[in-house]
Structure 1
Amino acid sequence: MTTVLITGTSSGIGLATAVTAARAGLTVVATMRDPGRDGDLRAAADRAGVTLDVRRLDVTDPASARACVEGVRETYGGLDALVNNAGVSNFDPTMEMSTPEALRANFEVNFFGVIEVSRVAMPLLRAAGGRLVTVGSVHGVVGQPFNEAYAAAKAAVEGFMESLAPVAAAHGVRVSVVVPGFVSDTRFGIFPDINRKTIRAASGPYAPAFDAYLDWVCGPGWEGAGQTSWQVADVIVDALTAPDPPFRIPTGPWASRYVAGKLADPDGSAVQAMARTWLGATP
């Protein structure tokens, strides 16, 4: 039975992915920084009639990542798949409000944490001929105003994984980045009025642009973009189980159209085929 480790499962996409993967017959190690926040996850698992192995993993702590992956190896004899889902968002005009410390904290979770967990898991994934799936964002393909730090971190993750994918494939590991758009039932999709007032007050010369941007986000700009975390989870589990998943997997028609507006190779197949020839593969 396939064993998959999923980060950031206390809520949202991670919670839905853990339950969906377990329903699909996978053995799920559901991790989170604070296992004391597992109530919603366990309740969802109970409703679905599935069992999860909940463990602690702080993606910003290399020792925690090593201990968790080693514990999985000891319990299950290996690891077949990793889903990098843990992440944080920020929503403010970076040039006016964010401190260097806040920007670095964003990258610690959204970029360096992803890379560290992937690094320590890779020997087990190589041994299993496994899967490495990372939750990206349309913001990592098309930069988003007032989401500069988050967009930059997600773009860095996509660049890293795109570079890693042909090397990993040469060792039997398939790498994919799942690209959601607007996820309506997570905190990433909530723009409370108090945030608007607070951010606008601190935006200085950027306040008019911020007002126009948020009017677009909360109005027609994201029309058709909304998905639930459970719909995104279905796409992630497909990436774990499909015989030959592409590198980049938008989670629906809206996300596909959105990234296609920038990319001539929307699912990354052409770039990956070209890159594999650089490593000696036959075209």
Structure 2
Amino acid sequence: MRPRRIRLSRAAAAAAALVFVAACAGLPEASRAPEAVVVPERSPGVSIGYLDGPAFDSAAFVPPPPQAGSAAHALDAALATRALAQAGTPRWDQAAVDADLDFPAGGALFACALGVPVDSTDTPHLVRLLRRSLADAAVTNRAAKDRWQRPRPFLANGGAVCTPADDARLRESASYPSGHASIGWTWTYALIAAAPERSDALLQRGRDFAESRLVCNVHWHSDLVQSQTVGAATFARLQDDASFLADLAAARREIAAQRARGAQPSGCAAEAAALQPADPALP
């Protein structure tokens, strides 16, 4: 015998829906569907920072780049020449990976140092923190770049860059300070605030991330030195922003939850091997 199909009237269906909504409202917080974490954007993929404008005037704060003939300029040139020897090595390949700041790829750059995967599903507030602080560091760094207009090292030494698709754009943009490295240092300090137990690994990753720009032949050593100043000052300013602090607190909870479930980032052995210094003379 075929089962009878039960039909609800419109009124009964509406009543059932109300009961379902009421039941959901009574669920404990952990049982409810997670609220979407939205990243504000100026255009698709381009995030809006936490701060209303630059964290500080980097054009006034960052000193001039080394002048031709100075000892600092000679050091820059020598280190750039040494870095050229790493072209085609795993370290060169890692520098190309580190050059991609677009998300979701950008979220994985510090995951091994952090010790947990970083993605918009399990760590959405952390992803928002990274994307928005990226915008703040980039905006803050721009004034100094625009003021000093320093040519990049590959224009001086004629060597290749690790991201040849970016060659034309890099020729038209200034070198000092490094925007990528400024972003990396801002992330380093923010991630240490979120996971202080991983501070040693994160500091080393911040240094390696910045050095990738030297290995890639797109920045001088002194560009990286000043980028750390920009990153530190940007992070200091972010600590006075309520939205940043709220995301930082949420990111701490997300990282703790990832650790509790034993989640592990992928590709860490290959990254560690690539980051072994091929030339101990590099700073």
Q: Same fold (TM over 0.5)?
A: no
Normalising to structure 2: TM-score of the pair?
Answer: 0.27
Write 1 or 2 for the structure with the bigger share of strand: 1
Q: Which has the higher contact order (CA 8 A, sep 6+)?
A: 2
Write 1 or 2 for the structure with the bigger share of helix: 2
Q: Which has the larger radius of gyration?
A: 2
